[in-house]
Structure 1
């Protein structure tokens, strides 16, 4: 065999093949998100905090500043230490759970929902790189996965609040078991019903001044494109009934169950949010980064978006302004643009006020945590 008169060509050829292989074998680059399509009030801007949180749902902070995020389809719980720093690193601290949508922090531990169970990971901020195995706090909840995912949060009374959705679109299940909001002590004891007639809430918060429980509720399907509305509700005492399955949105008697009880027998919603918008996470704004008009009696709600409406609705963040008596005086769109030409590229799932007063938004479709701040 004759020697190659141009050995440099061979070297360059091998290098080119290596480069080509590295390009072909490298993971695909993430497509840039079209944040320029998001419309906000004047002076606000949105940015991506992290695009590495698949199925991102419920959010909560630890006192140390770690952001914990649940997920629905992925079965994972994520942690982002120093999330407001550039390029925060995402850690998976639990996996193999069943729709761990909800996360809540107390006494050094992160609690996560897993359909029929609530699990806990102790001393978690000190073990993010090598997290402990989840410990089951209780497994007393139903196993049905229809509306079985659970947003959770600790209330001002120190109890963990846990919703149990209706195991159907419309039915009349045991009200002490389904279609309610429950609470229990952190160790799983003293489980009790707080509110009944709640079809499926995936977001709640407490008024910062009155400490009353407020929550969203998803209306039933198959009554048409324009009814019933999703709801924003206010619980003023334990044991109130909010209508399901007899009455929807305060005024619509159910075709099957409505004759059993009039709508006047139930607590009416504070605000009607629109049909099929899928109102999920909600928070009172408690920060100081936004202008003064946003700092008192303002509720932000993530609308995940419709799935069976002829013309899609939702896919946005809305703002509900309350008066000093807890009445809704104004409702407006705060952020929209995830729906373009009838097709969504993102679905807001939860909102969370960050320690610096910015507003975080989880997006389970894009696998993203956004940050909205006022920066005129």
Structure 2
């Protein structure tokens, strides 16, 4: 632990302005950045088991999977969204679109969580949807308009007070006047280059042309990357509507990401997208395209940039493809190695609901991608949602966690020969 404490202090000094505090930063963050106690003593803990859990287990009996796979309740986690599994396998951090980050621990290693409590309860979070880990054990949490860094989070999480620093201070991830209630669930990942990649969904169904210059400058409707000391920020990806899931191919290092497409064009268009990025600065077509090759009404008469990259795989319209992760574990059959598992959250305004399932995308040696259902059954025969998968994460044993922000739960998918 001393090594992590020393490292955190060194980063705080080396980063200089990147971690500088100002009058707008909550006092507790300033205290935690200086390794001072806040006086917070209480956690919010979530009961595991009971009638609520039994109801979810009955729902899981309806989920269909390929032969050899099974799905089980792992934890009750309110509003569960994106997950970050600790490099030591001690704890999984779960973000939400509200004001909590949850720490989920399986203490007896029976592959069912024993404890769920809030992480860093002395801090005020705002839409902390996107936790992600670096290999060094540093946890990053992408909020609506801030990114926080927690050195040695797996070891400090047992205490209400944790070492915490600004990576991107409040109000500096996007211009404050662009803060919105819509499309502000951020996602982050550490890339093969050691930089942190953060998605910045734009808030509109289709933005007005006068917004484009500002959005391109800040990376809104795209993805940014920066060094993990907060320096070197640049716009890496353009032409995205609202991506809430990205990961890097384990072998090629290429960035792949999901994207949610334009509403109000009909039940069956435009398609959702899984995209492949092979170079910095590529443009993926929004707002000229509403999804796939479907032109938006607002930009149908505008000339499309010549360098637009089309999707690697198209998915059913309005299924809301969110969190995704490449599978590189050893539990599943070999055909799943380096495949993408992704969560379809489900349509919100389609006449007949679609989605609410886990998808798998297989990629061949040429980079061609094909997406198909893997786990489904969260929409019943009445068209009622029994759950809404939001993200996936791989545990160290090679099983998969699926978050569900409707049921407020994590599920574990495992395989036995």
Shorter-chain TM-score: which interval?
A: 0.7 to 0.9
Task: After the TM superposition, list the runs of 4 or more consecutive aligned residues in structure 1 that deviate by more than 4 angstroms.
Answer: none
The CA distance in 2 between the partners of 1:192 and 1:227, in whole Å, is 32
**What corresponds to 2:126 in structure 1?**
98
Tell me whether 1:141 sits opposite 2:181 in the alignment.
Answer: no
Unaligned runs of 5+ in 2: 1-48
Q: Distance in 1 between matches of 2:50 and 2:255?
A: 44
Q: 2:157 aligns with which of 125, 128, 142?
A: 128
Q: What is the rounded CA distance, in whole Å, between the counterparts of 2:288 and 2:137 in structure 1?
A: 42
2:105–2:113 Cα contact (<8 Å) kept: no
2:408: which partner in 1?
Answer: 367
Matched-pair contact (CA < 8 Å) for 1:288–1:357: yes
**2:387 is equivalent to residue 346 of structure 1:** yes
* Post-superposition offset of 1:108: 3.1
Quote the Cα distance in structure 2 between the aligned partners of 1:58 and 1:37. 24
Structure 1 match to 2:191 = 155
Q: Which residue of 1 aligns with 2:347?
A: 306
Return the offset for 1:292.
Answer: 1.6
How many angstroms does 1:105 deviate by? 1.6
Q: How many equivalent residue pairs?
A: 347
Following superposition, the deviation at residue 263 of structure 1 comes to 7.3
The structure richer in helix per residue is: 2
Preserved CA contact (<8 Å) 2:282 2:307: no
**Cα deviation digits, residues 128-151 of structure 1 (max 9, x gap):** 221326422213122413211201
Give the drift of 1:332: 1.6
- 2 CA distance for matches of 1:308 and 1:208? 36
Q: Work out the CA distance in 2 between the residues paired with 1:82 and 1:64.
A: 12
| 1:48 paired residue number | 73
Corresponding residue of 1:80: 104
Matching of residue 216 in structure 1 with residue 246 in structure 2: no
> Taking structure 2 as the reference length, what is the TM-score of the superposition?
0.79
Query: Which of 204, 228, 231 is the equivalent residue of 1:168?
Result: 204
Normalized against structure 1, the TM-score is what?
0.88
Whether the aligned pair in 2 keeps the contact of 1:68 and 1:103 (CA below 8 Å) is no
SS of structure 2 residue aligned to 1:259? coil
Residue 227 (str. 1) matches residue 247 (str. 2) = no
Within 5 A, what are the aligned runs for 1:1-376? 29-30=51-52, 31-33=54-56, 34-51=59-76, 53-82=77-106, 84-85=109-110, 86-95=112-121, 96-106=124-134, 107-130=136-159, 131-132=161-162, 134-139=164-169, 140-142=172-174, 143=176, 144-145=179-180, 146-171=182-207, 172=209, 173=211, 174-177=215-218, 178-262=220-304, 265-295=307-337, 297-328=338-369, 330-340=370-380, 341-376=382-417
* Residues 42 and 263 (structure 1), Cα distance of their counterparts in 2 relative to 1, 3 Å cut: farther
- Contact 2:271-2:292 within 8 A present in 1 as well: no
Contact 1:276 1:305 in 2 (8 A): yes
Rg larger for: 1
Provide the aligned C-alpha RMSD in A.
1.8
Structure 1 residues 62 and 72: CA distance shift in structure 2, 3 A: closer
Q: Where is the strand percentage greater, Structure 1 or Structure 2? A: 1
- Secondary structure, aligned partner of 1:175: helix
Say whether the 8 Å CA contact 2:262–2:291 is kept in structure 1.
no
**SS of alignment partner, residue 176 of structure 1:** helix
Unpaired runs of 5+ residues, structure 1, are 1-26
SS at match of 1:126: helix
Deviation at 1:265, TM superposition (A): 4.2
Q: Distance in 1 between matches of 2:140 and 2:72?
A: 28
